[in-house]
Structure 1
């Protein structure tokens, strides 16, 4: 299978967007325990990646954060790798 950088970018955007939803939705939309459980599961799945793939995702996240106009979402994207356990320090 040939590598597609656009595929990685779009999939990563989807994962971050859904994780953001779980982070910011209020309890009338989704209870906090379920939201946290989904965020933890996303982190678990991402941590199944190899070290090289984690580094690649971390670099891609930095690029996404740099191009994000919304300050709150930019901060979320910039610290996503750390929050998910993919990096040892926040971006």
Structure 2
């Protein structure tokens, strides 16, 4: 995938968007346990990546956050790597 930076960014945006949905949806849409279960599974899958790949995700997240105009979503992007256990800070 090193030759497909657009693919990596698009897939990361998809994962983040679904995680944002799980984080922010109302109980009438999805119960908290199910949302948490899905977020934990996404975290598990992302943490299977090699350290180099995790670093690439951190860099992509920083670029996405820098371009984001919605303050709440920008904050979500900025804390995503830590919240998902990809980084320790």
Give, in whole Å, the separation in 2 of the partners of 1:45 and 1:73: 22
Give, in whole Å, the separation in 2 of the partners of 1:27 and 1:2: 39
Count matched residues: 89
4+ aligned runs moved over 3 Å, structure 1? none
Query: What whole-Å deviation, never above 9, does each CA across 1:45-78 have from its counterpart, x for those lacking one?
Result: 0000000000110010000000000000000011
Give, in whole Å, the separation in 1 of the partners of 2:46 and 2:32: 21
TM-score, length of structure 1 as denominator length? 0.95
CA RMSD, 1 decimal: 1.0
**Consecutive unaligned residues in structure 2, runs of 5 or more:** none
The answer on 1:74 being equivalent to 2:74 is yes
TM-score, length of structure 2 as denominator length? 0.97
**Consecutive unaligned residues in structure 1, runs of 5 or more:** none
